[in-house]
Amino acid sequence: MDYVAGVDVGGTHTKIALGERDGGILRQTRIQPNVRGTFTDLAEAVASVLREMQSAAGGTLAAIGIGNPGFTDRRTGVTVGGAPNVPCLHGNSLSRYLGTRWGVPAFADNDGTCAAAGELAWGAGRESSNFLIATLGTGIGGGLVLNGRIVRGARGFAGEVGHFCVQPEGFACVCGGRGCFEQYASATAILRLYQAKRDRRGLSVDRELGAEGVLAAAETGDILALQTVEEAARAIAQVFGTVTNLLNLDACIIGGGLSLAGDLLLRVVREKVADYTLPLFTDGVRVVRAELRNDAGVLGAAALAYTGVSEGKASPLTPTGS
């Protein structure tokens, strides 16, 4: 049996799965490699687990897909920036390392682009040929599909909506800009916005409360939490509306950790997206949540491998025999 491997590299956990053509997962595991050690430590930790999984599954590993945080040079798989939580990736290519080791095609892309590939193959994007996915987590990533194909742009960075300016005089961002989308609608931002509103009223905030807690509080009628959700939803709608006006999308998808929270955020974004979209365009665009949920990253990486093989974008690398 042929299958592919998907590897989703994260700052804390790295997920590894063997995925089938229909989106099924043959085997899956999660490891905590030392991402602040050397690149070889990380690569060998992944290779070791992958070897065990393949041995247990039998069959043939046909290709490998890697989802990287930050910006990835798709031609080489090298992480060229934007991955401060996995510093050992910088300047290195896990896809080249594993592809060479196994002698199979290996592909790497930004994790937002992988999310788009996964949703296109097996999730909310099955009904759509033109969509944007914004992954709302610690930061905001994104991926873009047009005419049924993943769009990467000149250097492979297309769809990175996290640093769209939504408020020119707004909060300073880690990127050096000001008023970035990420500062208003990431999990980090939602918690910070809520804390600021509580602070102004002299109210404390539960230290354990995350952005999901803020969304849950809004669902129960907490007025400051509701205002926070409105603020985040307006930023999301602004980005979705702007990109829809530019590209005539048929769907805008909310992915990442916040897509797992209740329906409130989604409902408010749906209400507001018309404020930023030409009326004729609004009718044709669905605002939905990602369907792959906790498996989005690793399934997206597997989808990337299948897409890469079907597009014939890489030839098998030379096996090293191990």
Q: Which is nearer to Zn ion, 103 or 177 (CB)?
A: 177
Q: Which is nearer to Zn ion, 180 or 273 (CB)?
A: 180
Nearest-approach distance from CB 83 to Zn ion, in angstroms = 15
**Binding residue for Zn ion (CB under 5 A) from 180, 185, 253, 254?**
180
Say if strands 131-136 and 140-146 run parallel, antiparallel, or are unpaired: antiparallel
Nearest-approach distance from CB 21 to Zn ion, in angstroms = 38
Nearest-approach distance from CB 172 to Zn ion, in angstroms = 9
Nearest-approach distance from CB 180 to Zn ion, in angstroms = 3
Kindly identify the residues of this chain, within the stretch 154-173, that bind Zn ion according to CB under 5 A.
Answer: 163, 173
Nearest-approach distance from CB 139 to Zn ion, in angstroms = 9
Asked whether position 272 contacts Zn ion by CB under 5 A, the answer is no
Q: Which is nearer to Zn ion, 178 or 286 (CB)?
A: 178
Nearest-angstrom CA–CA distance, 15 and 25: 12
Asked whether position 177 contacts Zn ion by CB under 5 A, the answer is yes
Nearest-approach distance from CB 107 to Zn ion, in angstroms = 27
Q: Which is nearer to Zn ion, 33 or 142 (CB)?
A: 142
Q: Which is nearer to Zn ion, 192 or 286 (CB)?
A: 192
By CB under 5 A, the count of residues binding Zn ion is 5
Q: Which is nearer to Zn ion, 173 or 187 (CB)?
A: 173
- For Zn ion, what does the binding mask look like between residues 11 and 50, x meaning CB under 5 A? ----------------------------------------
**Binding residue for Zn ion (CB under 5 A) from 1, 56, 172, 175?**
175
Binding residues (CB under 5 A) for Zn ion: these are 163, 173, 175, 177, 180
